[in-house]
Amino acid sequence: MAQAQNNAAQRAALLSTAPRMRKNVLTTTASNATTTRIKLFNVGVVTKIQLYISANITIGVAVATPSAKAPWNLIQRIRLTDYDGTDRINISGFQLFMLNCVRNRTSYGYHNSAGVPAVWTNPNVPTAVGNQTVSFFIDIPVAFDVDNPIVQLQDLRGAILAQTAVGEMYLSIDWVTNLYGNGDVESLYSGGATTTVVGNPAQNFINCTMWQEYLLPQAIGANGQIPLPGIDLMTVYEFVGNVRSSDNLAVSTEKLMSYPNVRSVIGSYYNYVQAGTMTQGKINQFRIIANGNNILVDHSELSQLFYQRCYMWDDEDTYPGAYFRDHRAKPIETALFGNVQMGITPNTVGANPYIEVGYESFYTKGQALPGLSQAQ
């Protein structure tokens, strides 16, 4: 209790005295099917990273159809690795978009249709034949909730102390393999049948600008102490996934996927892809099961979609084929529950089916943790 109270006092002191800084790390270029690795600045207490991505492309022959995951799947995988080699973030661009939607309880980054639109579109996914630019902003949360408008609810769990002369922290981005693939949801564009999409120019047509947001601690008090909330800085706010589980997918057969062990899971995310598409109406049932027989949650697809609509502030629907469960009110403590699994029962299984899985969790640094396996 004393440690928790001290952490709360140090957190409040840091938030009230530290200037909130935002630093432009760099702007770099890349091509599809390559990897960009960006070193963060060793400064302050890192709370968030933001990217602005634009890709100059040429659409030829016929009007293009964006894939169900566009433009977020321009990022095939994104990883944030801290100083001791721990992956804080290891997910696909689309899963990161879904995380931001759930964190903000709205369609993240989109213009509010009730207001006056700005002079630019975010995200921008053009479809007309000719030279075009795909562009979007995306946030990479490091601290759990540093921007809460209610000051007392601001939460620094997961923030990274970067004030060190030793060690390096990197953000790695794997860019989409194919800009166009007919009927391929993983490509940036999935139609029409005669469309062509190429980078313009052929090399280094992707532009990525990165900002690093951080708190700059200040010495306070007569002794010049620097307030640092130890529990917050020793807690990892983790979002990992990019796992595509394809085994045991059959009509009317429950597919079981295990929650990660020894974590406090606050969210789970699932995308169902079959026959190269993401659409609703392909699932019969969702269940969360503890220790094989204790049913914690039981939903039909319609009741799951209704739950997701009601969770969003403006009764918005998420992308078809994308599902989530929020556990923030009562995290799933897998160390206490034991084996916790999500069971998904499809009613349609087309060609090359898989479920993309992601989990949002907390854990304390130094714990021995099992990871996620490809076959669950």
Six token digits for residue 233: 């800085």
Question: Distance (Å, rounded) from C-alpha 352 to C-alpha 77?
Answer: 20
The verdict on residue 51 lying in a domain is yes
Q: Is residue 369 part of a domain?
A: no
Query: Do 142 and 269 sit in the same domain of this protein?
Result: no
CA distances from 351 to 189, 274, 338, 364 (A): 19, 6, 34, 41
Do 271 and 325 belong to one domain? yes
- Looking at the domain assignment, is residue 87 inside a domain? yes
| Contacts of 261 by beta carbon, 8 Å cutoff, 6+ apart | 334, 335, 369, 370
Residue 343, preceding peptide bond in cis (omega within 30° of 0): no
Are 260 and 199 members of one domain?
Answer: no
In a domain, 233, yes or no: no
Based on its alpha-carbon atoms, the radius of gyration of the chain, rounded to whole angstroms, reads: 21
Please write the tens of the pLDDT for every residue from 183-232: 999 999 999 999 999 999 999 999 999 999 999 999 988 788 899 999 99
Q: Are residues 196 and 256 part of one domain?
A: no
Lowest mean pLDDT among 174-178, 260-264, 266-270, 314-318: 314-318
Reduced to 3 states (helix: H, G, I; strand: E, B; else coil), residue 301 is helix
Residue 118 belongs to domain spanning? 19-215
- Percent residues over pLDDT 90 in the chain: 80
For residue 305, what is the enclosing H or E element? helix 301-311
Counted domains in the chain: 2
Identify whether residues 335 and 192 lie together within a single domain: no
Collapsing DSSP to helix, strand or coil, 50 comes out as strand
The values of phi and psi at residue 15, to 5°, are -65, -30
Do residues 257 and 197 both lie within one domain? no
Residue 49: which of 261, 218, 210, 285 has the closest Cα? 210
What single-letter DSSP state applies at residue 122?
S
Summary mean pLDDT of the chain? 92
pLDDT tens for 142-171 read 999 999 998 889 999 999 999 988 889 999
Distance of CA 375 to the CA centre of its chain: 21
Q: How far apart are CA 271 and CA 251, in angstroms?
A: 17
Q: How far is CA 291 from CA 267, 295, 361, 362, in A?
A: 19, 9, 19, 21
% of residues, the chain, pLDDT over 70: 95
Same domain assignment for residues 211 and 242? no
Cis peptide before 227 (omega within 30 of 0): no
Of 363, 20, 45, 43, nearest to 227 by C-alpha is: 45
* DSSP conformation class of 58: E
The reported pLDDT for the residue numbered 304 is 97
The CATH number of the domain where 360 resides is what? 2.60.120.20
61 within some domain: yes
What's the DSSP call for residue 83? Answer: T
Predicted local distance difference test score (pLDDT) of residue 348 = 96
Does residue 372 belong to any structural domain of this protein? no
Peptide bond into 71 cis (omega under 30): yes
Residue 273, domain member (yes or no): yes
Q: Which tens digit of pLDDT belongs to each residue from 227-285?
A: 999 999 999 999 998 889 999 899 999 999 999 999 999 999 999 999 999 999 999 99
Q: What is the pLDDT of residue 254?
A: 97
CA-based nearest residue to 269, from 282, 257, 261: 257
The type of residue at 6 is N
Phi/psi at 327 (nearest 5 deg)?
-120, 20
Residue 275 lies inside a defined structural domain of this protein = yes
CA separation for the pair 224, 44 (Å, rounded): 17
Does 165 share its domain with 254? no
The model's pTM is: 0.93
DSSP state of 235: E
How confident is the model at residue 208, as a pLDDT?
98
